[in-house]
Amino acid sequence: MVSFPLFHSLLRCIFLFYGLCCSEPPTTTTTTGGGAGDESLGHHGVSVSTVGFSALAQHLYHFEITSQVPEGLSKHVSSSKKAQSNWYKQLSKAWRESKPPPKSPEEASRLVIHTLQKQRAPDLDGLLSFYGLPLPHSLVELTAGEAPPLADGLKFQLHTLLVDAKAVADGDTVTVYVSTSDARESSRVPQEVQLAAVERNEARAEQDYTRADALHKQIIDAGYRVLHIDNQDILARKYRIRLRGIDAPERSMPYGKEAKNELVKMIEGKCLKILIFDEDRYGRFVGDVYCNGVFVQESMLKKGLAWHYTDYDKRPELEKWEKDARGKRVGLWASSNPEMPWDGGRIVVKTDIHTCMPSWQSGPTSIADKAPLRLLEFAISLS
């Protein structure tokens, strides 16, 4: 029987061989609310937070040793075992020769599609589904470079620390932290926060954790937090970010969970660049978000997981990305009449992202149905 240490070492070799990292990602002590969800993908139980293509990497390595394809694949594809073996031979070679190797489910899916492009579509879809990888119709091509400008109005840029999955509230809202060592932030830290941070370090050195916790609460109440990242304590400022120009489904709506999970998958454990254009009265900053050079709003729109918020964003590129997703019927557009946050045949108070004043809207379309609403709006305007 193989001992556990030997098995663990072998597993590490498998991941390193295929360009995957087995070490734990940097952890933080942030306690921002909102679970990220961990929806299972494929029959292996892999998820958005555990890298959905790891099972494929392991199976390719196993195939090179044993020439055996995984059990259960035949339930998803109709081709023979001999054909399946040929697939894995091609995929193993392509994976080894790719520079760099795939590092995300999307990259792995593209490699599979490109390598097996001559195979029948049902078999290709079955293989991808077996590993929980994105299907061809769900993959989107993202443009390079900066987001299309709306007009002048950029106020400042943020360069964040690693994003915690729990900081993602839904598909268009995230809480981020920026180190106070950042050039812009360093001169803006209130003196009382600096003093509390110094005293907290002293209290922890003296093992007076009750006092240290009380001082940290003062820091948090002032809009800052001490994060423990890579064995270092970092004083950081908190920013709540509203993605500019898009509106994702609410968490309780169809595709609300998918939108949130997609945003988590894109930005979890990553440092973001955020261009800030506005701030609402609740302290949320409205901005364009970039992750590893990818414009996040573009990805959300092209995958059909958000609407273009045309009331406050007139950029034609965002309009086109939504239109393309609608034409391909991806994401929420799989429904011919997707429920929008202001739909449902009922009056919904949807907070405006720029003014944070309530925007009263309703599902009914007839004049008679709208009459009580108009009276209500008029009464509000007089209050």
Residue found under tokens 């097996």: 116
**One digit per residue, pLDDT tens: the chain, 383 residues?**
445 444 444 444 444 444 443 333 344 444 333 333 444 444 444 444 444 567 888 888 888 888 888 888 888 889 898 998 999 999 998 988 887 788 777 788 888 888 988 888 888 888 888 887 877 766 666 665 555 655 568 899 999 999 999 999 999 999 999 999 998 999 899 999 999 999 999 999 999 999 999 999 999 999 999 999 888 899 999 999 999 999 999 888 999 999 999 999 999 999 999 999 999 777 889 999 999 889 999 999 999 999 999 888 889 999 999 999 999 999 999 887 776 665 543 333 344 444 443 333 333 333 333 334 444 444 444 44
Angle at 92 between CA 86 and CA 95, to 5 degrees: 140
Establish whether 242 is a catalytic residue. Answer: yes
Q: Is 168 exposed, middle or buried (0-12, 13-18, 19+ CB in 10 A)?
A: buried
Beta strands in the chain (DSSP E): 40-41, 46-47, 156-159, 168-170, 173-179, 224-229, 232-243, 246-247, 272-279, 284-291, 294-295, 307-308, 348-351, 358-361
Q: Which of 284, 298, 315, 322 is catalytic?
A: 284
| Sequence-ordered list of residues with C-beta below 8 angstroms from that of 99, at least 6 positions apart, any chain | none
C-alpha pair distances (Å), 344 with each of 172, 246, 306, 326, 357: 20, 20, 17, 20, 21
Question: Does 237 qualify as catalytic in the annotation?
Answer: no
Q: Is there a cis peptide before residue 254, judged by omega within 30 degrees of 0?
A: no
Residue 143 pLDDT = 64
- Tokens linked to 218: 């003062």
Q: Which of 200, 242, 244, 315 is catalytic?
A: 242
Contacts of 133 (CB under 8 A, 6+ apart): 42, 52, 53, 56, 105, 108, 109, 112
Measured CA to CA, the distance from residue 240 to residue 227 in angstroms comes to 16
As a whole number of Å, the CA-based R_g of the chain is: 24
Report the amino acid identity of residue 217: K
Determine the pLDDT at residue 293.
86
User: What tokens does 303 get?
Assistant: 């995958």
Residue 202, CB-side half-sphere exposure with 13 Å CA sphere: 7
Neighbour-count burial of 59, counting CB atoms closer than 10 A to its CB (0-12 exposed, 13-18 middle, 19+ buried): buried
Examine the residue annotation and report whether 206 is marked as an active-site residue of this protein: no
Query: Tell me, what's the pLDDT at 144?
Result: 55
Given a contact cutoff of 8 angstroms between Cβ atoms, the answer to whether 215 and 225 are in contact is no
Which fold, 156-334?
A: OB fold (Dihydrolipoamide Acetyltransferase, E2P) (2.40.50)
What are the residue boundaries of the structural domains of the chain, listed by start?
A: 36-138, 156-334, 348-382
pLDDT given at position 61: 83
Task: List the beta bridge partners of residue 273.
Answer: 159, 290
Please report the pLDDT score of residue 339 as a whole number. 67
Nearest 5°: CA angle at 153, between 149 and 158?
Answer: 85
Helix, strand, coil percent values for the chain (each to nearest 5) = 40, 20, 40
**DSSP 8-state assignment for residue 292:** T
**CA–CA separation, 227 and 160 (whole Å):** 12
Catalytic residue among 200, 240, 250, 268: 250
Instruction: Enumerate residues 6+ apart whose C-beta is below 8 A from 85.
Output: 63, 67, 69
Q: pTM higher than 0.85, yes or no?
A: no
pLDDT score at 323: 94
| Res 190: pLDDT | 95
Least Cα distance to 220 among 237, 201, 202 occurs for: 237
